[in-house]
Structures are given as structure tokens and as C-alpha cells.
């Protein structure tokens, strides 16, 4: 940690802030000053004050409590999305990259087509088929991000596949699944880690976006995206309703990206260039 602070203070700060946000979310039940779903705790649209640091929403709910508790949903759904997308995407990428030939040709064209459609559009489509709700949003975002992972992991696999030890493994008669899991996966792991952290922020943003559109979290769940959307109507009179959930999303995504950059430098992975 100290070494990290010396060579990349930004990333070190990011780790601490993110840790703070995650801890607050985990221990929300003890940390929040009020029940985050209780209405009429104070007057509606109350300004930020000593008693209510972040003010209150139209229902008179304490916003500080809701922002803290909101991390539970926003971050965990972001993580779930990441895991789902990464596992399925990297599996697809590795198989295509390793198999090569016609399978790779068709698979890659399919990925190209998927990449041509904006991820948000795919996600909205999936949610409209499966119905609203946080879990469905996680599935939808994961599905939308899948081609992205598949493409990156495919190219990483292509590089590794040409290496001599793969040929050696083939020569001694190892089966393809075993080669993929025991030889290729460990070698592309650094790429995987970097891609994962860089995309976590994006996953959190995407889930928040869908909740903002009313497709994700259902009342009274204090998800950041849906809180942002609730505040829209009162922006003129109670900007704190949008400011604090927005700040939470912003901080989380920035922190995750800083850490991702740091890992990218350290592990020298072939992360996305964007």
C-alpha cells in the first residue's frame, strides 16, 4: 500500500475512497442515521442541514441514509454484471481465439454485429423481454457487455496460442478444454483483471442508467440511478436530490477506473485503449 502510494498516489486514494464507500454500504444498517425507507423523517425537500447532511427527498426520506444504503445495490449489481459478462464473454473469446478457422470467423462476425448495436439498446431490449427489476438489469447489462469482453479476450488468446508451450501441450496430446483452462487462462489472467476493473465502472454506470430509465430498481430500493431519476423533477428546487447520488456514482466510477489504470500499468495488460 505504501509503495502504491509512492508510485501512484491517485490509485492509492481511489482504493481508500472505494473501500470507504463499500464498507459504508456493507454496514449501512449500523451507519445510517435513519431508516432509509422511512418517509416523513423530516419535511419534504428539506435542505442539507446538520441533522440531515444530504437533505431530504420529496417523501421526507433522509438522503444520506439512502445514498449510503444505495451503494449496496449499485455496487453489488455492478459486480454481478461484471462477473456474468466476464465469465461468459471470456469463455466465448477464448474458445473462438483457440479454435480459429471457420468457428472463429463466424463467431467474430457475430461479435462484430453485436458491437454494432449500442450496448444500452441491447440492454433495454433484454429488460423489456424479461421484465423490470434489478437482477434482470444485471443480466441485460452483462449480455450487452459480453461481445466487448469476448473480443478483447479473443485477441489475447490469439497471442498466447502461437506460443511454443501450447504447441508442446498439443504435442503431448492434451485436450482443448484442458489447454484453454490450464494454459491459456493463466496467461491471459492479467488482461482479464485489467479489463474487469476498467469495465466495473462502466457496469455500474449502465445499471444506474437503466434504473434511471425506470427499468431497474423498484420502489423503495435506494439505487443511485433511480434516486437520480427521482430527483430530476425537483432539480430546480432541491438540487441535492440529484447531486449526492450523482456524486456517489461519480466517485465510485472514478475510483474504479483509477485502480484499473494502475493495474493496467502494473500488469502491462492489453486493456482497452480508450
Residues in contact with other proteins by the rule CB under 8 A: 37-40, 43-44, 58-60, 131-133, 214, 218-220, 232-237
Contacts of 240 (CB under 8 A, 6+ apart): 47, 48, 54, 55, 63, 231
Phi-psi region of 147 (alpha: psi -120 to 50; beta: other; left: phi over 0): alpha
- Of 167 and 233, the one with the shorter C-beta distance to other proteins is 233
Phi, psi of 56 (to 5 degrees): -135, 160
CA 62 vs CA 12, 52, 76, 144, 237: distances in Å = 31, 6, 22, 34, 17
DSSP assignment of 22-78 equals: HHHHHTHHHH-SS-TT-S-SS-TTPPP-SSSTT-B-TT--BHHHHHHHHHHHHHHHH
User: Nearest approach, Cβ of 60 to other proteins (angstroms)?
Assistant: 6
> Shortest Cβ distance from residue 166 to other proteins (Å)?
51
- Which of residues 30 and 237 has its CB atom nearest to other proteins in the complex? 237
Residue 105 or 214 with smaller CB distance to other proteins: 214
| Closest CB 61 distance from other proteins, rounded Å | 8
- 133: which DSSP letter? S
Q: Between residues 33 and 220, which has the closer beta carbon with respect to other proteins?
A: 220
Rounded to a whole number of angstroms, the minimum distance from the CB of residue 218 to other proteins is 6
Choice between 176 and 218, CB closer to other proteins: 218
Please, what is the minimum distance in Å from the beta carbon of residue 219 to other proteins? Answer: 5
Amino acid at each position: 500500500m505504501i509503495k502504491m502510494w509512492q508510485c501512484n498516489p491517485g490509485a492509492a486514494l481511489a482504493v481508500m475512497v472505494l473501500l470507504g464507500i463499500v464498507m459504508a454500504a456493507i454496514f449501512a444498517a449500523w451507519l445510517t442515521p435513519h431508516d432509509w425507507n422511512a418517509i416523513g423523517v423530516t419535511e419534504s425537500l428539506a435542505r442539507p442541514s446538520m441533522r440531515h447532511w444530504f437533505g431530504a427527498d420529496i417523501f421526507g426520506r433522509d438522503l444520506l441514509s439512502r445514498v449510503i444504503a444505495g451503494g449496496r445495490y449499485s455496487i453489488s449489481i455492478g459486480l454481478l454484471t461484471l462477473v456474468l459478462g466476464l465469465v461468459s464473454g471470456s469463455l466465448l473469446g477464448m474458445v473462438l481465439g483457440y479454435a480459429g478457422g471457420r468457428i472463429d470467423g463466424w463467431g467474430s462476425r457475430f461479435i462484430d454485429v453485436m458491437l454494432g448495436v449500442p450496448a444500452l439498446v441491447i440492454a433495454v431490449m433484454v429488460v423489456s423481454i424479461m421484465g423490470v427489476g434489478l437482477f434482470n438489469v444485471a443480466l441485460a447489462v452483462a449480455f450487452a457487455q459480453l461481445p466487448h469482453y469476448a473480443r478483447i479476450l479473443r485477441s489475447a488468446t490469439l497471442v498466447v496460442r502461437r506460443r511454443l508451450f501450447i504447441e508442446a501441450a498439443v504435442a503431448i496430446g492434451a485436450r482443448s478444454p484442458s489447454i484453454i483452462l490450464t494454459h491459456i487462462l493463466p496467461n491471459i489472467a492479467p488482461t482479464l483483471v485489467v479489463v474487469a476493473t476498467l469495465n466495473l465502472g462502466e457496469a455500474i454506470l449502465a445499471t444506474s442508467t437503466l434504473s434511471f430509465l425506470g427499468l431497474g430498481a423498484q420502489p423503495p430500493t435506494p439505487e443511485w440511478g433511480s434516486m437520480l431519476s427521482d430527483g430530476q423533477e425537483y432539480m430546480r428546487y432541491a438540487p441535492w436530490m440529484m447531486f449526492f447520488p450523482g456524486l456517489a456514482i461519480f466517485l465510485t466510477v472514478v475510483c474504479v477506473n483509477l485502480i484499473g489504470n494502475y493495474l493496467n500499468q502494473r500488469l502491462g495488460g492489453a486493456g482497452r485503449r480508450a
